[in-house]
Amino acid sequence: MKKIITIKVHVDTDHPARQEWLEERHFIESEINEALCLIRGNYKKHSGISHSGATTFTLSVNHTIQEKNK
């Protein structure tokens, strides 16, 4: 079975955690990685917020494709 999913990630670069972003250039990358880790697995509809509070994310399953046996 294949699932077509949509992941929406919003990083608020004006968040107070922005100071960390200025000091460590990988802030946005780490925020996105955290969101991906939180949703990784069975890929069900899910939404949440990162530990810093700067990132919100949603995951929705748009379509499930049943593969034919070969």
- How high is the mean pLDDT of the chain? 75
Residue written as token pair 């994310």: 57
Residue type, 11: V
Phi and psi at residue 46, to the nearest 5°: -155, 150
**pLDDT tens profile 20-45:** 766 766 777 777 787 777 777 666 77
Q: Is the pLDDT of residue 56 over 80?
A: yes
Other CB atoms within a 10 A radius of the CB of residue 32 amount to 16
- The answer to whether the predicted template modeling score (pTM) of the entire model surpasses 0.75 is no
